[in-house]
Chains A and B, each alone.
Chain A
């Protein structure tokens, strides 16, 4: 598996929003990461830090006032320069399956889950004929643990958890090499979070047809869900990925190394439940150097200069020794 090339390879990805009056909002800056076949990468970070914008950039769904730079290679295709026609015909649904944040908004209200699944199968696969479509739709539902006896219901007749599974089933239909899940478990109780997360994990563990491997990029606020299924964690702050870490080391011992990541974990109700002091920075007016400096208890004068690139973008990262002390 290690010898297989990454499913997604992002280099120097930046997104700027041009605002009225000539202001620029730096929503994503210089993101760099890979997602390997069979891997789940969790992207976490403070609200408004640019996670969803990054996802929209990969799908070509940014609004008109956005400018991108860098590259995001999915196989040989650069998602950032691909035209809308390519994105619509070969990327969305086929190369990237999207598990949306609010399933209710993603399902068509006037049609049953079965009819939406069958239509998606017909659009994204070579399956033809009524009986075959019906069987394929049922198989897709089963993969997402959507109960067969609810297939003839309309979206408003589903609980949040079932609507989430319906949306997940739709995302799995195209058997895309990359699954992109933006907050796939929001609003679900712990049991349903675990089940949804496990379904996504199972999908990634199954290399799929031809054994080419599947990968999952999961954006989430739910650190317990991330801990449950992620292999690696990318932490985003003020548009930058400030730490890339092995999930077990990050959530367990020795713990995160970037001061922001540590603050984020300490804010959990089963840890200190203390928010990171201060307010998130204005992405339209970021300071020079480290954007976290104003809120960081380790900041020094050096932090007014750009932190070094690498897996931890910090001048004074925690090292395993002071974590143990």
Chain B
């Protein structure tokens, strides 16, 4: 369903951090992308989730080339993706209570009416208790915040989840619980997964197949 062809991307024109990388995720498939610190795998994950425009290369979603990135991407393409990053704190608006954080994508797409029902479904899925839902990010731990970020990524029922080091800040049990939550969601919906990280044991156990960063270029 997602095909990255010869992607080159970076933050300065003359110094790409991703060079000529190709990767395919079939529908319903889970792919683990393994690479060392600083290799550029997070940048590729952002390109794959339409959050970062590549300098060159092609991205096909369901066989159709994507031409616009970020907020310019058409809504039905953007909402096909759910993204969870390593640093929950950098990706969460500090002013929002966790409920509102989770509801953000619903409200942004004019589906505010679904919020109460969806929160009631999502909170137990990711292991958030009611008292936590009313707190703001600085009043919860990293793990509690990451649970909310996963719930936010699932809010619009994405067809592809991109998890960039989702569990790097978490203890072993919380990590296993969040992986189980992702897998329950995938089992129920058939969604595909691109999980990025450097923990071979984790990605090997989690994903259908793992690919090594070095083998992609």
User: What DSSP secondary structure best describes chain B's contact surface?
Assistant: helix
The reply to whether the CB of A75 lies closer than 8 angstroms to some CB of chain B is no
Do B144 and A102 have beta carbons less than 8 Å apart? Answer: no
The reply to whether the CB of B109 lies closer than 8 angstroms to some CB of chain A is no
B202: which of A159, A263, A269, A282 is its contact (CB, 8 Å)?
Answer: A269
Chain B residues lying within 8 Å of A270, measured Cβ to Cβ, are 201, 205
Do B169 and A183 have beta carbons less than 8 Å apart? Answer: yes
Number of B residues whose C-beta is below 8 Å from A? 38
Interface size class of A (residues with CB under 8 A): 35 or more
Do A264 and B171 have beta carbons less than 8 Å apart? Answer: yes
Write the nearest CB–CB distance from B94 to chain A, whole angstroms.
Answer: 13
User: What DSSP secondary structure best describes chain A's contact surface?
Assistant: loop
Do A159 and B172 have beta carbons less than 8 Å apart? Answer: no
Chain B residues lying within 8 Å of A269, measured Cβ to Cβ, are 175-176, 199, 201-202, 204-206
Binds A, one of B67-75, B99-107, B135-143: B135-143
Do A189 and B198 have beta carbons less than 8 Å apart? Answer: yes
Do A46 and B173 have beta carbons less than 8 Å apart? Answer: yes
Do A223 and B172 have beta carbons less than 8 Å apart? Answer: yes
Do B177 and A221 have beta carbons less than 8 Å apart? Answer: no
Do B127 and A189 have beta carbons less than 8 Å apart? Answer: no
The reply to whether the CB of B165 lies closer than 8 angstroms to some CB of chain A is yes
Given A47-B144, A188-B37, A190-B198; A279-B129 close (CB under 8 Å) = yes
Q: Which residues of B contact A (CB under 8 A)?
A: 36-38, 86-87, 124, 127-129, 131-132, 140-144, 146, 165, 168-177, 179-180, 198-202, 204-206
10 additional A-B pairs beyond A47-B170, A190-B199, A275-B176, beta carbons within 8 Å, are: A47-B144, A186-B169, A187-B37, A190-B200, A267-B172, A268-B172, A269-B204, A270-B201, A273-B205, A282-B129
Q: Which residues of A contact B (CB under 8 A)?
A: 44-49, 52, 102, 159-161, 183, 186-192, 221, 223, 263-265, 267-270, 273-276, 279-280, 282, 284-285
